[in-house]
Structure 1
Amino acid sequence: MKFNRKIASDTKPKPNFVTKKRLREDEINFDKLRSYRLDRVKKELEKNNLEACILFDPVNVRYALDTTNMSIYNMHNLTRYCFIPVNGPVILYEYFNCEKLASHLNLINEIRPAITWDYFTNGNQAGTQLKKWINEIKDLSSSYFKSKKLAIDVINGPAITALNKSGIEVVDAKLIVEQARVIKSPEELKCMKAALDVAEIGINKMREELKAGMTEDELWSILHKTNIEHGGEWIECRILSSGQRTNPWMQESSNKIIQSGEIVSFDTDMVGPYGYCADISRTFVEGYKFNEEQKKLYQMAVEHINHNSRLIKPGMSFKEFTEKSWKLPDEYYGNRYS
């Protein structure tokens, strides 16, 4: 079943625009990148005795098929998903009238219109739409997962109930995709480096533009702008605070005005170019002149990093590393980050 609704003539206009290369774009073999990741998903399905999965989470769809469309919207609406069998066609269920967005990706064998059934998109027709979706899944099951066992990452209650009634058992696909991601390919490492490069550019701009009188939100916006300029996608959190707001940690940026000499701390939590995350923590002092308390905190941070860096060696377990890691002084333990 393909899209067949025409709203314009079947013309193929020649592109006449100029594009700017993204960081490390020429270094990355995208065919290898995509093939490797899809193969990892299929191998994890086989390892867990599963024949197929359906992925709704845009992050998981991006990993498996390298296709994106309204990612933030689709994080809270079940309007775009993909079907991946171990043996059989990879099918993208695309958002209404958006089939051309992924037409260049050769690992997708077929594009079908997404059947949606949640109340937000269908209102009182949600029940009728759910029956259509269940029939679609039953049809897939008869050909590609005859075990009637299907891995799904994100789904709502009515759909699970309906699938169970139809004889299809639902298992969590998070395990499948997370384990697939554990081993990175050389091409993925290049993507990760590009994301880190963009984060560092944004961080340096933040440091340069930090000044008393600006709000936390104004400072935080610099990272967003930098990320988008370099083909990045979104930022997971808004963790930036200054002065007294830095403790307890995890407070989000606000309209608080940064004062002279205040400490400013943040985590980037940035999903950058190619969909890879760059999570970097940084702390600055406005005006770059430390008071005695700030010097003390800085020295502890340096000791912490240097001590733990010296511990790292091949074969060390996380448990061993934790047991030998730098110990936080008791006076700071109550408001520790983790």
Structure 2
Amino acid sequence: MIEKLNSPCSIPPHSRRIDPTRAPTIIFKPDGSANDNDRVEIGPTPLAFAEWQHLGLQPPHLPTMRAFRLKRICDQLNDRGLGGILLFDPLNIRYATDSTNMQVWTTHNPARACFVAASGYMVLWDFHGCEHLTAHLPLIKELRSGASFFYFETADRTSEHATRFCLQVDKLLQKHAGNNRRLAVDRIEVAGLRALEALGVEVCDGQTVTEHARKIKGPDEIRAIRCAVASCEAAIGEMRQAMRAGATENDVWAALHAGNIRRGGEWIETRILSSGPRTNPWYQECGPRVIHDGDLVSFDTDLIGVYGMCVDMSRSWICGDLEPTAEQKPHEHITTNIEMVKPGVRFTELTRNGHRLPESCRPQRYAVMFHGVGLCDEYPSIRYPEDLESFGYEGELQPGMVLSVEAYVGEVGGKCGIKLENQLLVTGTGYELLTHYPFEASFLRD
């Protein structure tokens, strides 16, 4: 059954812990969220707020950030002549609504959906029994359930449930977009696509809408990213303390997870940390290998931190008080490429004018030179010269874009490999470096 709510959900009487006859006094945290120890929404912990205050960081104002994001989506829809957008990707739903619910689980079990009309009218279908999770979000005008039509949930009744859901979407499109039958969709099960098309809906690419909406960060999103970076770097410091001879790769990686969660971060998308000979070739995930003095340890955070913001940075360390070997000396690759960043620079200019890896390391080059960062790795993806013809596309840098610049340096058949990556903001005149955790000092000496 569909639950239709035109105002935020009220808490069931049996859940109340405050005398309902007393008018509540709402106290807010620095980010605009309610200072309620029993609140439903997730967010930064007191440890995170204390660390940010010490660093002089201003948290985002969440209501303003949410309004900015909704306007970005609506502007994209109107610019492209679309009546609305239907979202299933949990990160796009997060961007549109700032709501979370089992983010990793719903990545492979699409049980939540969101409709946003070009006018800004927003409807969220949440997992059943979860209406209370979004009661604090007034931009969501209706809360419903019943968006599940994947095989695990619906088996041989999948088409039935897909049709029922799509009829709702069609009615919303007719009500809020009139004769405009053009609906963007970011991703959908096959049964849902067929049901929408059978209703005469023109299904358009939704990923173009969301990626271009998300590419420019507003002031509060930038504040959120700075806070997320600070919390991630504090956790990296705890990782560094956990790295010692006799520890396993998993011991070190666990410190990053723990530090992220302790501060209110959310999850980590990969587990790419390796040591010694496992650093070459790249992309080996952490395991039970015991680290020894003199081992190289390289990692990529790929971390979804506080406010759902991605912190994507890489470092390489030497275990113990030892000097790296000659082949472990890093190249001035990412620092050179960062200096090219400024508004108006074309993606292909970055590719063609960037620092070249040593020829012996090019076969094992990283997938990209630069990529966007926000709630995860985002548009754009800027390639190395070797990949420009096959995968490259054009565009230009704009103020408000957040990028990661990275490189993996490891020879084919080499004993080890170094991974380095920094995150930066494109400003009106150049860039601002967002990640500040230092590189290994011994790598910087000639």
Q: TM-score, normalised by structure 2?
A: 0.70
| CA distance in structure 2 between the partners assigned to 1:54 and 1:144 by the alignment | 13
Residue 328 (structure 2) aligned to one of 267, 288, 297: 297
1:130 corresponds in structure 2 to 162
State the identity %: 36
1:20 corresponds in structure 2 to 46
CA pair 3-163 structure 1, distance change in 2 beyond 3 A: closer
SS of the aligned residue for 2:147 comes to coil
CA pair 278-309 structure 1, distance change in 2 beyond 3 A: same
CA pair 315-138 structure 1, distance change in 2 beyond 3 A: closer
Aligned: 1:71 with 2:103: yes
Supply the AA of the counterpart residue of 2:3: K
Supply the AA of the counterpart residue of 1:144: H
1:56 corresponds in structure 2 to 88
Aligned: 1:207 with 2:223: no
SS of the aligned residue for 1:141 comes to helix
Shift of 1:243: 0.9
CA pair 126-320 structure 1, distance change in 2 beyond 3 A: closer
Residue 333 (structure 1) aligned to one of 362, 366, 374: 362
SS of the aligned residue for 1:49 comes to coil
Structure 1 stretches of 5 or more lacking a match?
none
Shift of 1:13: 2.1
Supply the AA of the counterpart residue of 1:193: R
Of 270-279 and 78-87, deviating more is 78-87
Shift of 1:222: 0.9
SS of the aligned residue for 1:287 comes to coil
CA contact (8 A) 1:247 1:335 kept: no
CA RMSD of aligned residues (A): 2.5
CA contact (8 A) 1:88 1:144 kept: no
Of 183-192 and 325-334, deviating more is 325-334
Q: Which has the higher helix share?
A: 1
Deviations 1:285-325 (A, max 9, x none): 110312433xx432x33x32443344445543333233232
CA contact (8 A) 1:3 1:99 kept: no
Residue 187 (structure 1) aligned to one of 216, 220, 243: 220
Shift of 1:203: 1.2
CA contact (8 A) 2:89 2:107 kept: yes
CA contact (8 A) 1:195 1:276 kept: yes
Of 283-292 and 8-17, deviating more is 8-17
CA pair 12-242 structure 1, distance change in 2 beyond 3 A: same
CA contact (8 A) 1:58 1:75 kept: yes
Aligned: 1:45 with 2:90: no
CA contact (8 A) 1:41 1:176 kept: yes
**1:28-177 pair list within 5 angstroms:** 28-87=60-119, 89-145=121-177, 146-177=179-210
**1:279-298 pair list within 5 angstroms:** 279-293=312-326, 296-298=327-329
| CA distance in structure 2 between the partners assigned to 1:329 and 1:16 by the alignment | 54
Shift of 1:276: 0.7
SS of the aligned residue for 1:256 comes to coil
SS of the aligned residue for 1:68 comes to coil
SS of the aligned residue for 1:284 comes to strand
CA contact (8 A) 1:95 1:113 kept: yes
Residue 317 (structure 1) aligned to one of 323, 346, 349: 346
Aligned: 1:236 with 2:269: yes
SS of the aligned residue for 2:174 comes to helix
Supply the AA of the counterpart residue of 2:323: F
Aligned: 1:308 with 2:340: no
1:275 corresponds in structure 2 to 308
Deviations 1:19-65 (A, max 9, x none): 73644596321111000000100100011110101111111111111
Shift of 1:246: 0.7
Supply the AA of the counterpart residue of 1:142: Q
2:370 corresponds in structure 1 to none
| CA distance in structure 1 between the partners assigned to 2:167 and 2:341 by the alignment | 53
| CA distance in structure 2 between the partners assigned to 1:38 and 1:313 by the alignment | 27
**1:247-258 pair list within 5 angstroms:** 247-258=280-291
Q: TM-score, normalised by structure 1?
A: 0.91
| CA distance in structure 2 between the partners assigned to 1:332 and 1:11 by the alignment | 60
SS of the aligned residue for 1:334 comes to helix
CA contact (8 A) 1:54 1:153 kept: yes
CA pair 311-49 structure 1, distance change in 2 beyond 3 A: closer
CA contact (8 A) 2:113 2:147 kept: no
Shift of 1:274: 0.3
Supply the AA of the counterpart residue of 1:28: P
- State how many pairs are aligned: 334
SS of the aligned residue for 1:92 comes to strand
CA contact (8 A) 2:83 2:173 kept: no
Structure 2 stretches of 5 or more lacking a match?
19-35, 40-44, 368-446
